[in-house]
Every structure is written in C-alpha cells, then in structure tokens.
Structure 1
Amino acid sequence: MLISTKGRYALRTMVDLALHGEAEPVKIKDIAKRQDISGKYLEQIISILSRAGYVRSIRGNQGGYYLSKPASEYTVGMILRVTEGSLAPVDCLSGEDNPCCRQQDCVTLKLWQELDAAINGVVERYTLEDLVQWQKNMKDNYVI
C-alpha cells in the first residue's frame, strides 16, 4: 500500500487547520505556503475534505477554512480514506464482501487479512489531535 501525495497533503492540511484555525479561518494560500503545497492542488484537496464535511468555509475578505469538528474527533484513517479510498493491501479486501472466487483456496488470504487489520489498527488509533501534539512537541524540542 502506498499513500499518495493527496492523502499525505490532506493530513498536513488538517493538522495546519487544527493548529492555526482556532482563532480565525485559515486561507488556502497560507496553508499552501506553510506546507509547501501547490495552491491549485490544495484547492482540490480542500474540496474533497469539504464535501466529506471535515472542513467548512467562510467566504469573503476575512474568510477561509476551519475544521468542522474538534481535532480529537478525526482519526488518521478517516482522513486517509476520504482522500485515498480503501486502505486494503489487496483488492479482494477493499469492499465489505470478498468477491474473489479463490478465497476458499487462497493460502495468502490470512496474511492479507492480518496486514489489513494492522494498517487499520494504526490509522484508527491516532487522531488529528495526536498529530497536532506531535507537531507541537517537535517545535518544543528545537535546540540552537
């Protein structure tokens, strides 16, 4: 499984909104500059996050984006799934039912199921608030 730039940038965007969006809405150009992401690409990502109801916007000169809910209510898995789709390591595990005609005889199915469970366990264990705290700790440990 490979997480695309869309998924990685969506996580960085959500962390940025959590860090900077409490007092006032955050402008796309400010996120793009801080996160070194193309403004046009960031607009596409924000659009996905907005359609999912993860971010809201305020129009106008003082407008921008902010999180719809507290950072503690978003898991990393939620954010990655909305941008990446399924995080399953193989196609046969990407839906609710396994459509593979070989599943009864597939010697590797147990391996893929365990890998899928491990991936889901990690991305569901951590919240956006965890990432925000990690970011703050990184800045607190800065030494000259």
Structure 2
Amino acid sequence: MKLSTKGRYAVMAMADLGTHAGARPVSLADVAQRQEISLSYLEQLFGKLRKGGLVKSVRGPGGGYLLARGAGDIRVSDIIMAVDEPISTTRCSAGSPAGCHSDKGRCLTHELWEALGRQIYLFLSSVSLADVCERRILLRGAEMFPHGDGDAVAAAQ
C-alpha cells in the first residue's frame, strides 16, 4: 500500500486538532511541536484540509484552526482524500484498463491487490476522527473480525 507521509501527517494533525480543540482555535505551531511535524509542511496540509471543508481557520491573536464539523462526522478517508493522497495498492493507474506490464497487461495478482485497496478504503471510511482521538481503533478491528480473528490482528499490532 502506498500511503505517504502526507496522508499520515494529515491524520496525525487532525487527531491532534480533534483532541486539543474545544471552543478555542489551535495554532499550527502547537500541533507542529506536539506531533514533531514541520510547521511549513503543516501549513501546506491545512490549506488542503481547509479547501476540503474539514477545518476552518480563525485569524488574529489567539487564532488557529478548528474542525469544520464534529470529529464523529469526519472519516479518516476524508482526511486522506482531502490532501490528495490516493490509496493505491497496485502499480497500475487508477481507473485505467491498461495494466502495468510493458504489453499493457495486468499482473496475475492485480485483482488481489485491487481488492485489498478497496478493503483498506472501506476500513478508513468506517473510522471517524473521534474513533482515533478516543483510541477506539482496536475495537473497530474486533468488529471486523467477530469470530476471534481480531485477537490475532490486535496481537500483530
């Protein structure tokens, strides 16, 4: 799976914002310090998050960022997509009938990796920012594997 630092850092920063924001805006400098992410990089990410309707900015003294809607209404997949981070598990171009082989054919395992990509997207769509902020992720894993396989997943983490 290809998920660059852009997607990971955007989720980390949004989780920080969701955890520390109340009625007061949170400064990106504070987020940068707590999460050990470059301030200039966060500024780029938050420009995209604002355009994506996930955060709103407050100017002036005491300004910063607030969530544009409740943390329970923001999905992790929304955050990743807002920063233009495709969730890709194949070498092929998304939506293209052509494969990644030199003859434009698809590899033998293309459908396997494509199905995995869909499952990853479904999982990230099922997890809200509130789930991340309240550390309810392991519970989500247990829900996905109701026959005890979640224990193996939790142990592997």
What is the TM-score normalised by the length of structure 2?
0.75
2:29 and 2:39 in contact (8 A); partners too: yes
- SS of 2:2 mapped into structure 1: coil
Residue by residue over 1:38-67, the C-alpha shift from the partner in whole angstroms, topping out at 9 and shown as x without a partner, is 111111111111111111011100211000
Matched, 1:131 2:132: yes
Structure 1: give runs of 5+ residues left out of the alignment.
136-144
- SS of 2:135 mapped into structure 1: helix
2:6 and 2:85 in contact (8 A); partners too: no
Overall identity of the aligned pairs, in %: 37
- SS of 1:134 mapped into structure 2: coil
Residue by residue over 1:81-112, the C-alpha shift from the partner in whole angstroms, topping out at 9 and shown as x without a partner, is 222432131254623xx321536xx5333212
Aligned to 2:108: 107
Aligned to 1:120: 121
Matched, 1:6 2:10: no
Task: State the AA in 2 paired with 1:89.
Answer: T
Determine which structure has greater relative contact order: mean sequence separation of CA pairs < 8 Å that are 6+ residues apart, divided by chain length.
Answer: 1
Aligned to 1:90: 90
Which runs of structure 2 are paired with 1:1-144 in the superposition (5 Å)?
1-92=1-92, 94-95=94-95, 98-100=96-98, 102=105, 107-134=108-135
CA distance in 2, matches of 1:109, 1:44: 33
Task: State the AA in 2 paired with 1:119.
Answer: I
Task: State the AA in 2 paired with 1:127.
Answer: S
Give runs of ≥4 in structure 1 deviating > 3 Å: none
Structure 2: give runs of 5+ residues left out of the alignment.
99-103, 137-157
Residue 113 of structure 1 and its aligned partner are, at CA, apart by 2.6
Residue by residue over 1:15-44, the C-alpha shift from the partner in whole angstroms, topping out at 9 and shown as x without a partner, is 111111122001111111111111111111
